[in-house]
Structure formats: structure tokens, C-alpha cells
Amino acid sequence: MGTTPSVSVIIPAYNAAAFVGRTLASLRDQTFTDFEVIVVDDGSKDDTAEVVARCALDDVRVRLIRQPNGGVSAARNRALSEARGRYIANLDSDDMWRPQFLERTVAALEAAGEGAAFAFARSLWIDTEDELLPVAETALPARVGYRELLLRNPVGNGSAMLMRADLVRDIGGYDGDLVRDFGQVEDWQLLLQLSWRGAVVPIDEPLVLYRIMPQSSSHALERTARGALEVIRRCERDGPRLAKPDVWAARSLTLMWLARRAMGQGRRDLALRFAAQAYLANPLWLTLPELREPALKAPLKLSGRLLRRGRDGGARAAGGQAGPEELHERLLGELVGEEAGHDAGGDRGGEGDGGRTNPELFETADGGRNRQSMNQVD
């Protein structure tokens, strides 16, 4: 390739032979053609490299890099170090884009000018056979910024964004330590950090096909919880100043999202624990509209009992002098400590399940409002 491409598409791949060919086929169908593709085979044990190599024979824009297994962030950062484009788009090895994805996102960023950090489009969910899953579609908010990304994360997954390469590099790329220590929430941290540096450009059009895999394990949910709370803690420490109620709401909404996922897996015990922790994490949580969901009635009853017990115990420990914020911070410390205690194992090193689970976990009374919350998580 003699000229510098406008976009570098980076694809981390670990044991992705079943899907990566379809992912690359969706790139060949793009109406915007000025891009390169960098696939990093992260020590796969299947035929991932062979599938990519065959695709590269038909498309000179595709380049394959092989490395020992180092995890998804290491693979992305390796691709980032090789990327030449002005814009970076991450595409997971089992996701796909509709033909207009790059055309629309590039046009949106160009129109927004140098003040924009990234653009993103809406996602649809597909199963392992590429069939659309029946998840309610909802419009994006009129405005998306740091606060909205922290509380709701309408981006939803790492395959939905087109980012300015210079800003991604200024941040340092994807945080591999975060994945190693806390689970796969590096996409969420990166987009939050980008939002500190520039405007977010939403495209209210479903251009991303996000693949839902079989249910993730309870251990993965616990790691996601710990990781998400760590991201929120880092935002409170390093990011633009947020009002305390927003920080509380971010913690509480994150834990309730995990409670819904656990309920969908049949893990009522884990769902109740997440719901109770959500209650403890936000003194103002009864004002949150998500609490009207019928599926949460049982967790909420238990949470109420736990909160009353926590208040009584906290007040006694403080000699009857503990105020709401002091009590909240003490309970939050117990919450984070409990999550750390439950994290008994490490990440497998490759591309984990990233939190991709059955969409039934997200069905809510508001018609699917939470369908795109947080990849992990991916």
C-alpha cells in the first residue's frame, strides 16, 4: 500500500476462526474504501491465522500479525502501533459492520472538526448464525458526553466507534493492566477518557452487528463488577469533576445492570448481592427510573433490608454520629472489598467472553432501554 489510509481498522483475534472470515467480509462490503485492516492473531490455538491469510490473498488492505497470547488489550495496542490511519476503528473478531459504517462515521467526524474525539453508531444484536435478535431498538440521546457515557454508556461496545488516532495514542491506547486486574472493561475506560478530550458524535443509525455469544460465567460477572467500579473510581479521581449524585448513580446503575444479567443467568443469589450493593452505593437511588422494572422487585426487597441493617450498624460504629455521605463511603468501601474478595482467579489471557450474553438478560419494562449498556466488558 503506497498511500496512507484514512482509517486503520484493528482486529484482535483469539480462537476466532469460526467468525473472523465473516468479520472481514463485512469490511470488503464497505462503501468507504480508504482503509487498512490490521488483524493481530493473539496466540490462537485454532485456524484463525489461516482464515485471515486466505482473506488477505483477496484483499491487499488486510495485514496479519501473529504474536504470543497477551490478551485483547495487548493485541489492540500492537495493531495500534502499526496503524497508519488518521482514524482508528476497533472491530472485534466476531462482530460485523453494515456497509455504510465507515462512510457515515468518517463523514460525521470530518463534519464535527478537530473538536471531536470519536463518533459512534447504534448496534443491533446477532446470534451465532448472523440472525438478528429481537431486541427493542431505541433512539440515541440528543446529546452524548462524559456524563451520559458514565451513567448510561449508549455506545455499548468497542466495535461501534471511530476514534481520532492521535487522541487514542495520547491516552496510551488500551489499558492492559485494567484487563489483567479487573476484567474486560477497557473499552469503557477508553471512550470515557476520549470524552474528556473532545466531543462525542452520535449517529442514530444501526450500523453495527454485535454478536451475542452463549452466557458468560458468574465469575466473569463478578470480575466485570469489580472492573466497572474501578473505572468509575478512576474517573472520579482523574476525570472532569462530577457531582456526587452522578458518581453514586454511576455505581448504582452499573450494579443494577449486572443484577439483571445475573437474574437472566438464573443466578438469583448473585443478582441479589449486586442489587443490595447497588442500594448501598447510592443514597439517592430510589430516584432512579430503572428501579421501576418488575424483574427487580425481589432484589429490591432484600436490598432494602440490607440497607436498613447497614445504616443501623454504621451508625452504631460511628457512635451514632455517621452522616449520610460518611456512611455511604464506608459502605462503598465494604462493597469494593467484597468484590475483590470474590475475584479468586485471573483472566484467561485471550479474548474472553467480554460479557456477551443472551439478550433476554436485558429485557426491561421500558422496552429495552438498557440493551447497549457497557460491553464489558467486552
Ranges of H-type helices in the chain: 20-28, 48-58, 72-82, 101-112, 146-151, 165-171, 176-182, 186-197, 218-238, 244-264, 268-281, 297-317, 324-342
pLDDT tops 60 at residue 106? yes
| pLDDT at residue number 216 | 58
| pLDDT at residue number 332 | 46
Q: What is the mean pLDDT of the chain?
A: 80
Nearest to 200 by CA among 82, 273, 118: 118
Average pLDDT over residues 347-362: 39
Which amino acid appears at position 323 of this protein? G
Residue 33's pLDDT band, with cuts at 50, 70 and 90, is: very high
Residue 346's pLDDT band, with cuts at 50, 70 and 90, is: very low
**CA–CA separation, 91 vs 99, rounded Å?**
14
For the CA atoms of the chain, what is the radius of gyration? 21
Q: Which residues of 297-323 are buried (b: 16+ CB within 10 A; e: fewer)?
A: eebbebbeebbeebbeebeeeeeeebe
Nearest to 326 by CA among 338, 336, 314: 314
Give, as one character, the DSSP assignment of residue 15.
S
| pLDDT at residue number 2 | 59
| pLDDT at residue number 96 | 99
CA distances in angstroms from 142 to 197, 250, 362, listed in the order given = 20, 20, 23
pTM of the predicted model as reported, rounded to 2 decimal places: 0.77
Give, as one character, the DSSP assignment of residue 155.
S
CA distances in angstroms from 89 to 85, 133, 187, 259, 270, listed in the order given = 10, 24, 12, 31, 35
| pLDDT at residue number 337 | 45
Q: How many CB atoms lie within 10 A of CB 112?
A: 16
Sort residue 90 into left (φ over 0), alpha (ψ -120 to 50) or beta: beta
Average pLDDT over residues 213-229: 80
CA distances in angstroms from 47 to 13, 178, 250, listed in the order given = 11, 29, 41
**CA–CA separation, 318 vs 316, rounded Å?**
5
Please name the residue that has the C-alpha cell 440493551: 371
Name the most confidently modeled range: 129-133, 305-309, 344-348, 354-358. 129-133
**Residue 309 contacts residue 294 (beta carbons within 8 Å):** no
pLDDT tops 70 at residue 195? yes
| pLDDT at residue number 356 | 53
CA distances in angstroms from 185 to 176, 190, 221, 339, listed in the order given = 10, 9, 11, 15
Q: Which residues of 273-291 are buried (b: 16+ CB within 10 A; e: fewer)?
A: bbbbbbbbbbbebeebebb
**CA–CA separation, 196 vs 198, rounded Å?**
6
| pLDDT at residue number 341 | 42
Residue 290's pLDDT band, with cuts at 50, 70 and 90, is: low
- 371 phi, psi to nearest 5 deg: -65, -25
Residues 6 or more apart whose Cβ sits within 8 Å of residue 329:
none
Average pLDDT over residues 332-348: 40
**Residue 357 contacts residue 265 (beta carbons within 8 Å):** yes
Percent of the chain exceeding pLDDT 90 equals 55
